[in-house]
Amino acid sequence: MTDITLIEAAARRMQGHVRRTPLLHAPLLDRLAGRRIMVKAECLQITGSFKARGGWSAVSALTPDARARGVIAFSSGNHAQGVAYAAAKHGAPCVILMPSDAPKVKIDNTRAYGAEVVLYDRATEDRDAIGARLSQARGLTLIKPYDDAQVIAGQGTVGLEIAEQAAEAAITTAEVLVCCGGGGLSSGTALALAARAPGLRVRTCEPVGFDDMARSLASGQRERNAAASGSICDAILTPSPGELTFPILSRLAGPGAVVSDDQALQAMALAFTHLRIVLEPGGAVALAAALFGDDLPDTVIAVASGGNVAPEVFGEALRRFG
């Protein structure tokens, strides 16, 4: 089970391989929002998202034997790159199963990190069956995107850094807004903050229509989304909260926030203008909640979780909101 000890151990294993990302802020953005917004810029993380942390944590925790046989992951993108990067640096073979309609930049990058990419058709093929066949034949260890104690521990290092950086900025009380898919980043961050900065509370942030976590936190049980796709926030569309992540968030997180796709695009444009960082829609959801949400305190910390975005999508954000 993930706890602060596991998170701190993951942080030690990552040293020198995964970046301590900066906590940015911009006076003009604060003026616009009417509150102080600190942005944890995980888009500047190696591989362009926080997923490098979970990937590193999981691969580095394997036995030498398991590492030599290799790892496998199912992912449409950021998790794939995180695992591929970590595997390559550990000399571990790596297979990534990706839907054939995943963004081309993410497929290319995953291959460039040295992984073997196996594409499947979302409509006609069974991802889990293909994965099980490959894993058995080659003895690969499956690295799940969020329901894995070491992955949650890796993502939790974001929370450790926020605790330190908030203390440096003399912030003792704040809401920490986190982009949420299956809840790996949110739950790891919540665990780290509960142990190291108890005045900072996590709130999950999701796109409209894919607010399974917000509804689950409200009802007290794991709810499912009606649809599997239909938001531009592709990086954080998951059917329901994780088995491991939900109990953690149920205990530690405040009510979930929900934003529209247009608010995510507008947050991308404002991050471009005022912070000079590149965010993908799913990585801008927490900043959108920080900018446009109600019922927030004077200081919020928004985790900008990723920046792997197609130029056309970014161009749209700039044309409409830049």
Nearer of residues 191 and 270 to its own copies, judged by Cβ: 270
State yes or no: is 76 an active-site residue.
yes
Residue 170 phi, psi (nearest 5): 60, 30
| 60 catalytically annotated | no
Neighbours of 298 (CB within 10 A): 10
Please identify, using beta-carbon distances, which residue of 146 and 314 lies nearer to its own copies. Answer: 314
Q: Give the Cα separation of 144 and 184 in Å (integer).
A: 10
> Least Å distance between CB 222 and its own copies?
32
Q: Supply angle C-alpha 39, 42, 47, rounded to 5.
A: 160
- Minimum distance of its own copies from residue 276's CB (angstroms): 3
For its own copies, give the closer residue by CB, 239 or 322.
322
Rounded to the nearest whole angstrom, what is the least distance from the CB of residue 227 to its own copies in the complex?
A: 29
CB of 322 to its own copies, least distance (A): 3
Q: Which residues bind its own copies (CB under 8 A)?
A: 19, 21-22, 24, 26-28, 31, 41, 43-44, 46, 48, 85, 105, 109, 112-113, 269, 272-273, 275-279, 307-308, 311, 314-315, 318-319, 322
- If phi > 0 it is left, if psi is from -120 to 50 it is alpha, else beta; for residue 154 that is alpha
CA distance linking residue 242 with residue 248, whole number of Å: 10
CA distance 315 to 306: 17
* 55 close to 148: Cβ distance less than 8 angstroms: no
Least separation in angstroms between residue 313's CB and its own copies is 10
Nearer to its own copies, 16 or 64 (CB): 16
Inter-residue contact 85 to 78 (CB < 8 Å):
no
Amino acid identity, position 164: E
Radius of gyration of the chain (CA): 18
Q: Which two tokens stand for residue 85?
A: 């990067």
d(CA 286, CA 284): 6
**Closer CB to its own copies, 183 or 283, in the complex:** 283
**Catalytic one among 57, 75, 76, 305?**
76
Per the residue annotation, which of 40, 49, 51, 187 is the catalytic one? 51
Which positions are annotated as active-site residues? 51, 76
